Structure 1
Amino acid sequence: MSIFRIGPDRWPAALAALVLLATATFAVPGAVAAPLTIEDDTASRSLDTAALLARPDVAEVTIPGDVAYGGTTQRYRAVPLATVLGLLPGRPPAGAVLEARATDGFAAQVPLGLVFQAAPGGPAAWLAIEPPDAPWPKVPGRQASAGPFYIVWERAAAGRISPEYWPYQIAALRIVEPPAVRWPQIAVDAALPADHPARRGQEVYTAICLACHRMNGGGAGEMGPDLNRPMNPTEYFQPAALRRLLRDPASVRTWPEQKMPGYAEAELSNADLDAVIAYLAQMAAQRPAASR
């Protein structure tokens, strides 16, 4: 029935109904509970903001050196990440990683051993939850906050916690096999000596670069280009320019919607920077002929 056909005696009730409808729909921006999928090879579970905030282990955590918010100190309502993943019944494979997929195509590969380690004084992973009634500020340089879900670390300095292990705007968490098992094409030649710098470089690449860039088609990141197809950065950058690009991308090249961060020496040591460049050069040398 159209509201314009309601008689005068029904107007109070109609107006009350309209007020309720408006309140339910428009009261708080972002008030709808956000979904989160957690899964492994055996099971999948759907959670949401409300369910996570209602857990008995939710806590207020203070995070100094917050990666998403420019190294400032932030405070969150969060639950231990290990207990969230513990809702899955499967047993993780040896060397498994946690693939954290963000809504923008970022796909971090976080070693599961870091998430489940419980050494006193060691790093501790939390799943921070953005409350619908208290939205977080926008991430610097972005048009949205780090929510609805964000992996943050207490005592990050106590372990090798890559900046890429702080994924935000998370939509799904999945326990998977190690990257080199899932995507053998990202691995260096098995015949390389054990101490070859490209081997260390593969580890650095997996921790820092693979979240955004695929290698020979291997990887889950969708934010940046493949770094060996059709060409490798070592084939069109001089070594000094490539080092500078990794330290400060905007000083070498700028482009619309530039998202690649620079890596200070505290985040990527000079030795590790050289190792990842050695890895890139090795992957260029062993690129499949069909991709050349």
Structure 2
Amino acid sequence: MKSLTLFIVFLISLPACAAQLTVESGSGSRSWQTAELLHHPAAQTLHITDDVSYKRNMTYRAIPLATLLEGIKPDDHLQAVALDGFAAELAAAPLLNQNGAKAWLAIEDPAHPWPPLGKGKPSAGPFYLVWTDPQASHISPEQWPFQVVSFKRQLPVAERFPALRPDPALPKDSSVNQGFVLFQKNCLACHRLNGAGDAQFGPDLNIPYNPTEYFAADFLKHYIRDPQSLRQWPQARMPGFSPTVLPDNELELLIQYLQHMTTRKVNS
């Protein structure tokens, strides 16, 4: 009876919002609870300047992400899955890097929760991928997934989703194939195309219509730069891609990929 009472007291004392992070390496799976990560030997206080999600300086309890990616190799491909359906496609090499841009897993302490991301919105927790010195490796905002619950080793995007591939007759270094790489980095975390992809966040970008088919002239570029300047609504979640994040030449390559994919639609 005494042991049962102690167990009940223990359960009551647990934080209500404690979470679990899972890393699937392909050969195995490992999970950590919030408390384990907060007290991990590698955990430290981390200061992030101009945080991508909070738009201000933030301080976190964080662990170098590479510490948790045992068995992951630089040429592997990972997917960060979030509570809200966001599925960020991530090359493993930058996540394992110890010089220049460095990836960290920020851990939300249920006893000291992070602020909401906006009015009526949750925080970036329970886990958030943040970067120090992101400019050193041209890290994009889409490589800062928040509300993360798992990292999964996956096959490369082109192998998993053939419907996303450009015409195989195109040279590998063609502008369309370069745009496909940029699409994976900047768009696939939120959008599907031809029904392909794991994201549950934004609309399909080819079915039934590709945005290059209904945006006139350069309005698509304008929309990508600043979505709210063309369509304003309170629930809008698409961020703007500034020239520092997506330079003009890369934006042009991305649009060439989208235009090309209008010729490669699948049956809806």
1:214 aligns with 2:214: no
Q: CA deviation at 1:193?
A: 3.1
Q: CA deviation at 1:239?
A: 3.3
Which position in structure 1 is the counterpart of 2:261? Answer: 283
1:37 aligns with 2:37: no
Aligned partner (choices 78, 82, 87) of residue 107 of structure 1: 87
Relative to 1, partners in 2 of residues 1:256 and 1:76: Cα closer, same or farther, differing over 3 Å? Answer: closer
Gaps of 5+ in 2: none
Which position in structure 1 is the counterpart of 2:214? Answer: 236
Q: CA deviation at 1:124?
A: 0.6
Superposed counterparts of 1:1-292, under 5 Å: 25=12, 31-70=16-55, 72-86=56-70, 89=71, 92=73, 95-119=75-99, 122-141=100-119, 143-255=121-233, 257-288=235-266, 290-291=267-268
**Contact 2:226–2:240 at 8 Å: present in 1 too?**
yes
Q: CA deviation at 1:132?
A: 1.5
1: CA distance, partners of 2:128 / 2:158: 25
1: CA distance, partners of 2:54 / 2:96: 25
> Residue deviations 1:157-191, cap 9 Å, x none?
11120100000011111111211121121121121
Taking structure 1 as the reference length, what is the TM-score of the superposition? 0.83
Q: Which amino acid aligns with 1:225?
A: P
Q: CA deviation at 1:95?
A: 3.6
Taking structure 2 as the reference length, what is the TM-score of the superposition? 0.91
Q: CA deviation at 1:195?
A: 4.1
* Identity %, equivalent residues: 42
Relative to 1, partners in 2 of residues 1:281 and 1:141: Cα closer, same or farther, differing over 3 Å? Answer: farther
2: CA distance, partners of 1:281 / 1:54: 49
Q: CA deviation at 1:24?
A: 7.0
Larger Rg: 1
SS of equivalent to 1:272: helix
SS of equivalent to 1:66: coil
**Contact 2:25–2:69 at 8 Å: present in 1 too?**
no
Gaps of 5+ in 1: 1-16
> Residue deviations 1:33-57, cap 9 Å, x none?
2111211322122211011112111
Relative to 1, partners in 2 of residues 1:240 and 1:73: Cα closer, same or farther, differing over 3 Å? Answer: same
Moved more, 238-247 or 38-47: 38-47
> Residue deviations 1:273-292, cap 9 Å, x none?
1111100000111223x34x
2: CA distance, partners of 1:146 / 1:248: 22
Q: Which amino acid aligns with 1:198?
A: V
**Contact 1:95–1:178 at 8 Å: present in 2 too?**
no
Q: Which amino acid aligns with 2:31?
A: S
Which position in structure 2 is the counterpart of 1:10? Answer: none
The alignment yields a C-alpha RMSD, in angstroms, of 2.1
Q: How many matched pairs?
A: 262
SS of equivalent to 1:227: coil
